[in-house]
């Protein structure tokens, strides 16, 4: 079946850039998503990218998509302690609206 | 602000009781909603797709008689955990697609603890 993979942990210093990586297997993906989950909370949609785009920028967030390698990344510029959370990438499966999630990357921002 | 709500946010119940969780889309209609389950430190696993006006579609391995789903209206889906047991303790999250489906919004989640 379809699969989405992420590294589990990332630690950065406040003010640095964070790059969270994700790989997926579905070659027919139309949209790919990044969600943020803070402890005990639901998921917050951060951004998404359409498959015919290579890059999308939204304030401190930059999403890069390499469709050939099926690789997606999320860059957070000037990372703040409030960015500490778990970040999930997700692939929309089979046009049906179902999302397949990666394992989540726990981002720890140290002051 | 939140576009999908869930109620309750927390529930503690005794083993053997049934628990109903509501998911509402607040300012849009959703013919489809999704129910996920998340164990601590793990990712979200899709349980079922809730379809307004028809039966829910369950993922492989999910017991449809245990997790009853009813899509009562275009803004409300309910998940009932029947005869709950401690192993059903988890974080249950719903989502609803919006704007032709390319954006999907999640509820804040319901934490279930079965004693």
Whether B79 and B68 have beta carbons less than 8 Å apart is answered as yes
* pLDDT exceeds 80 at position A28: no
Q: What DSSP designation does B8 have?
A: -
Q: For residue B25, give the nearest of B48, B57, B2 by alpha carbon.
A: B2
pLDDT in tens, A3-14: 899 999 999 999
Would the pLDDT of B91 be above 70? yes
Q: CA-CA distance, A56 to A23, in Å (whole number)?
A: 17
Residue B67: name the closest of B110, B97, B37 by CA: B37
Residue of B nearest to A50 (CA): B102
Q: Which of A42, A48, A100 lies at the smallest CB-CB distance from B102? A: A48
What pLDDT shows up at residue A80?
97
- B9 CB within 8 Å of a chain A CB: no
Closest alpha carbon to B87 in B64, B113, B53: B113
Q: Report strand pairing: A71-76 vs A55-58.
A: unpaired
- Taking 80 as the threshold, does the pLDDT of residue B48 lie above it? yes
Res A94: pLDDT = 63
Cβ distance of A45 and B106 shorter than 8 Å: yes
Q: Are B51 and B32 in contact (CB under 8 A)?
A: yes
Residue B8: asked if its preceding bond is cis (omega within 30°), the reply is yes
DSSP for residue B59: P
Cβ contact (<8 Å) for B49 and A98?
yes
Kindly report the number of other CB atoms within 10 A of residue A71's CB atom: 13
Q: Per residue in A36-87, pLDDT tens?
A: 999 888 899 899 998 889 999 999 999 999 999 999 999 999 999 999 999 9
Which residue bears the tokens 């390698």? A69
Q: Does residue B65 surpass a pLDDT of 90? A: yes
Q: What is the mean pLDDT of residues B29-44?
A: 90
């Amino acid at each position: 079946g379809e699969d989405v993979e992420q590294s589990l942990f990332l630690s950065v210093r406040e003010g640095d850039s964070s790059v969270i990586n994700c790989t997926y297997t579905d070659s027919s993906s139309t949209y790919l998503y990044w969600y943020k989950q803070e402890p005990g909370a639901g998921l917050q949609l951060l951004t998404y990218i359409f498959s015919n785009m290579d890059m999308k920028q939204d304030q401190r967030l930059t999403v890069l998509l390499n469709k050939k390698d099926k690789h997606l990344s999320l860059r957070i510029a000037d990372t703040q302690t409030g960015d500490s959370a778990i970040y999930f990438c997700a692939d929309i499966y089979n046009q049906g609206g179902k999302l397949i999630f990666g394992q989540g990357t726990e981002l720890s921002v140290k002051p | 602000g939140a576009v999908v709500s869930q109620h309750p946010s927390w529930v503690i119940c005794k083993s053997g009781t049934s628990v109903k969780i509501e998911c509402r889309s607040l300012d849009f209609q959703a013919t489809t909603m999704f129910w996920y389950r998340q164990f601590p430190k793990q990712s979200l696993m899709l349980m079922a797709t809730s379809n307004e006006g028809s039966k829910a579609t369950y993922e492989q391995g999910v017991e449809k008689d245990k997790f009853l789903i009813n899509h009562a209206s275009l803004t409300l889906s309910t998940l009932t955990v029947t005869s709950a047991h401690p192993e059903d303790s988890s974080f249950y999250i719903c989502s609803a697609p919006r704007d032709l489906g390319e954006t999907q919004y999640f509820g804040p989640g319901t934490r279930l603890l079965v004693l």
